[in-house]
Amino acid sequence: MKPLTRTLLPCLVILLAHCASEPVSSGPLPPPPTVTAGSSAIRPGDVLTISFAGEPDLTQQTRVDWNGMIHVPTLAADGGAEIRAAGSSPSALASRISALAKENKMLVDARAQVLITEFAGQAYSVLGQVTQPGRYTFPRGLPPRLPIEEAIALAGGCTRLARQSQVLVKRGSEVYLVNLEALASQPGQAPAIIIPGDVITVSERRF
């Protein structure tokens, strides 16, 4: 997991100020939505690795554009073909690529494989009093869900100036207050689970 580069940190500062000005919801952070079977579908912004069995030189990596299309140079003699990827599962897209490669006589026995190597939107942000503020992706191969304590730990943990009883989580248009101290010291507290798109802001302690 890598934090956002320094060149984008000013944007995070603006977002932090905006988040702090939002009214805080009186309720707890809602539980994450259920992950459905359709969540494995390819989406615009995903990065795909396309390979062909026995043809290592034809392996390519491509990002799905915001129209849901990808460009695959190996599918046509004139420099490639555009094919719709968004909405398909990786296996369904691989079957279509294999069929198109055979149809265009690019490969006699085309057996494509498609892997999603980077998920679009599968990230959260941590701002404020943490060691490494930035944008973080969820671990690959696991559902995009993290307890807030782990999400903050991946950002280097809280600084000594952190007010751990006043942690804000912005989800959509709502901002929720999470008390990390209560989560750590009071048994029976409902866990606060972070999902893609959440923005965590660790407040500064007042002296």
What is the chain's alpha carbon radius of gyration, rounded to the nearest angstrom?
21
DSSP strand E in 53-140: where?
Answer: 55-63, 69-72, 81-84, 112-118, 123-128, 134-137
Domains of the chain: 6-30+121-204 (3.10.560.10), 44-118 (3.30.1950.10)
Q: Distance of alpha carbon 115 from its chain centroid, rounded?
A: 16
pLDDT at 8: 46
Pairing of strands 199-204, 123-128: parallel
Q: Is the pTM of this model over 0.85?
A: no
Number of Cβ within a 10 Å radius of residue 78: 7
Q: pLDDT tens digits, the chain, 207 residues: what are they?
A: 545 444 444 444 444 444 445 567 656 888 877 654 445 788 878 899 999 998 888 899 999 887 889 988 877 666 668 899 988 999 999 999 998 888 887 777 889 999 998 877 678 999 999 999 999 988 766 778 899 999 999 999 999 999 999 999 998 778 999 999 999 898 888 899 998 889 999 999 886
**71: how many CB neighbours lie within 10 A of its CB?**
14
